[in-house]
Structure 1
Amino acid sequence: MNRPLSKLLDDEIQRLATDPKFSGNLGTLQEQADFLGTTKSWLSRLRNGKVSLSNVLAQQFAARLRPESGPECAHLYQELRKFGEPETTQHEPTLQSLEDTGDIRNVEGFFDRVGRLDTLVCVDYRDVPRADPAGKYRSYAVLAGQAIAAGGSFAMFQPFGSDDHKREANGTGELKSYYHTQNVRAYLGNLIRRVRHAYELILAEALKTANEMGVRPEEVAKRIVLYERGDLAIYPPNFTTGVLSRLFYAEVPNKETFEREVWEWVASPRRDFFIRRDESSAPVDVISEQFVPVVSFWQDNHRLPLTDEELASNMQTACKELYAQLPAQIWVVSEVTKQARAAIEN
């Protein structure tokens, strides 16, 4: 006979609490919630059968309660899944729906597939976001937020620095660039602001969904980071050129390996398209290296780098030979991300 969820959790917590290798405290509901990575109120509702256990939290609970045993962790996960919602069928790409038509609704299937643990999405914003508060497809920010809350990692890249950096470097208070004309400067200033607004919107949607799932907000905030180009004064001009594109790079778990994909969001006068790029025109190895050092850090640590120090350290190790002639701080964590995480954690 299957144990009730509350009994299953009690048994696992008692077993762990008596383990000589475990040094924590699990006597109170608050201590249990902190250890499992959720909130006290949500854990109470879960124990009383008022909410279901999501797939991402079932994985998280099993990993924390059985940290040293792969088979036992997998078995506990399967037990916990019995108290969750039914598994959803992942939308697999098809030639007609994804590669041929480029229908914008493919975004829905894309975010459904990347909304799970150990999945990475990198987005290169060289054009204004379509899912920002003022964009035509604002509702797609909800899909991105849901994917992040479900366990996916979402790295946003804005390769034109920040207006704060440029104003400070020029000492004039005006938004200027070292390499561009007035029209391009105005365009980039608008792009910088709207990418930041898109980050704030997607984070808000992720936190909203996470609250409904019982996932702690500080954990969710670690899964979405906006990276901006470092001080443009020390970089060659080619690092700040190339506008009017939105490129998506994804690494999705597939059995023993990862499936790597490249997509592009294209806006036309009548409608938008979400197109999977062909390997011959957009090789995944080349695209992934555009997002160095975040991709290599994520592959080693299964999380996004959260500080400038982590970015620089990874650049100096895994990427040293690749970028030997360039400064380590090509990318920095946006001040918007730092402020958002500080507000959530405090």
Structure 2
Amino acid sequence: MARVGIALLWVSFLFCFCMTAGAAKPNGARDSDGDGLTDRLEDTLLQQFQPTWMISHEDCSKEPGRFRLGAAIPTVLDDDGTIYGQASPYQNRRDEVELHFYHLWRQDCGEMGHALDAEHVSVLLRRTSDDGAGSEWTAIYWYAAAHEDTVCDASQMSRASTLEAEDHGAKVWISPGKHASFLNEELCSHGCGGDRCTEMHAMKRSDVINLGEFRHPADGMTWIGSSRWPLAEKMRRTDFTEPRVRRMNRLPDTDIAWANPAKRPAQAAIYGGNSALGGIATGGRSTDTALVLANDSTGRALGKAQDRTGDALKKSWNNVIKAVGGAAKATGQAIEGKSEREGDRSHQ
């Protein structure tokens, strides 16, 4: 009987301990991915700052995909416009959070297309108040990935105030086929020449699905670590490196900056030696600047000026080719005529 009594006592103790532990962490304080941010806070911020996505009716992949839970290989269930998210403390600071929004596609439809395409946009938030009733967060910087980690990298960064997106999501244009992200419609054609944003429309909004962290993914998100796309690398790194932030802060408040300006000269060469395009886009500023947003008309003027310059250079190049071809043809005809005359004289 004594043993039975002791066993019952242990059962009662364990039951009370479990109940106490559960009460210590109610649903509002749950932190599934162990990053120090509660699930409730992560979900709230992801919904509040989700961008407005501008996409094309002509995209061969239609809309971002929803992927099968529990699959090791990313498997698309439907092209239904699903957006996935990630919320992480920024550099271990309690009052700053970095959000990533992933638009994941069935395929890349560019000239060198491939299955699966992982693209994203991110925002750096700062807690601006905490009055006990709830904290308020403000966006400080936005980042849009465009052809990341390639020679054609046209990723951009901007102050949230420049985009008027400090307390809500920014508007983001996604180029059809390649799915590069741009913080302004004009920038869509400022890369290596393969992106165009025409006849765009706002994608229907739906709740963001939280992926968790790379080392502690949400239930069923086993496909995030697949080697078939670079999603894991995007989840492991910050988009707001200290050099980028310093460079951004040196520019005027009206500027959107290139995230990797060192690649611009090579891109100009690929585009056709058109270094003048970069000069027009920056408005005489350093090559760090992608676009000046003094107002909407300024942005449109810059885009039109760039298009005219590009067309002029292409026409000039075509004229050179025609001139060279014409000269070669004339030279050939002259040589043939001379040979015929010399042949006639030799027979006389």
Q: Above 0.5 in TM-score?
A: no
When Rg is computed on C-alpha atoms for both structures, the one with the higher figure is: 2
TM-score calculated relative to the size of structure 2: 0.25
Q: Tell me which protein shows more helix as a share of its residues.
A: 1
TM-score calculated relative to the size of structure 1: 0.25
Q: Tell me which protein shows more strand as a share of its residues.
A: 2
